[in-house]
Structure 1
Amino acid sequence: MSAAAGSGPTICPTLLYRDAKAAIALLTEGFGFTEVAVHEDAAGVVQHAELAYGNGVVMLGSAGRAGVFARAMKDAGPTGIYVAVDDVDAHHRRAERYGVQILMPPTDQDYGARDYLARDGEGNLWSFGTYVPGTAG
């Protein structure tokens, strides 16, 4: 099915983790993502996973695998990902309960949004806030 058919998101951040299973646990239990698919090889290495939040999806896998994408990402540094949420404070409390490293607590921004900033176990930055990209205002 083509992206034009509108069956899902057309942009999906993709991350490779040294410990993909720990990343999946943090994203689902700490940040409230829903596991859509997890594909492991015979040795239990996560080859590909899809986790959803709202109408967005993040794809991830295990670092150190073979293939063009894995080789190109080999020396990639941490990345930053933004996720729009309805209730920033409730989302923040969930992440705190899970033990996520919080870099900035929920904060009202000058442009009208409220957001917080966290770091996952492998250094990626996750921002959660009320701003919805692509909307007027």
Structure 2
Amino acid sequence: MNTRHDMNIWPGLSYNDPIAQRQWLAALGFGEGICVDGDGPGEVIHSEMLWPDGGRVMISSVCKTDPTFVTPTGSGSVYVVVSDPDAVWTRAIDIDATVVREMRDEDYGSRGFSIADPEGNKWSFGTYAG
């Protein structure tokens, strides 16, 4: 399976400050996808951030008018397949991301690390693509 085109699973995470989260993800290397504003200031009903190696993540406000898909802040964990983990690691350090697991090589052939975003969700980046 070609992971660059495997975009059929999109995790969704809710944030108190989704605009700041989108900026944080952009600093790590995510591309800006659509962003649909809500009724209140800083409210995001739906947005997408695109990973250059393939895949997307949806970011929204916890205060959405439709709470059907709202998740508690800090409850998410996302694994991102990356072709150059060292470059992403450098960007993570540059933005003072909270390190959960240092960069390391795994027995199963992956190289990667884990960080927490400003609202507590865990983001792991590694070369293991299944």
TM-score band w.r.t. shorter chain: 0.7 to 0.9
Distance 1:109 1:8 in 2: 23
Distance 1:111 1:55 in 2: 22
Provide structure 1 residue ranges, at least 5 long, that are not aligned to the other structure. Answer: 1-6
The amino acid across from 2:90 in the alignment is R
SS in 2 for 1:21: helix
The amino acid across from 1:108 in the alignment is D
Distance 1:115 1:47 in 2: 32
Q: Give me the identity figure in percent.
A: 33
Match of 2:83? Answer: 86
Provide structure 2 residue ranges, at least 5 long, that are not aligned to the other structure. Answer: none
Match of 1:116? Answer: 113
1:10 aligns with 2:8: yes
Kindly provide the CA deviation profile for residues 74-125 of structure 1, in whole angstroms up to 9, marking residues without a partner as x.
5475111000111111110011101111122210111111110000011110
Give 1:33 deviation, angstroms: 0.2
Distance 1:28 1:66 in 2: 26
Judge which range, 39-48 or 56-65, deviates more.
Answer: 39-48
1:99 aligns with 2:111: no
Rg larger in structure: 1
TM-score scaled to structure 2, two decimals? 0.86
User: How many pairs does the alignment contain?
Assistant: 124
RMSD: 1.9
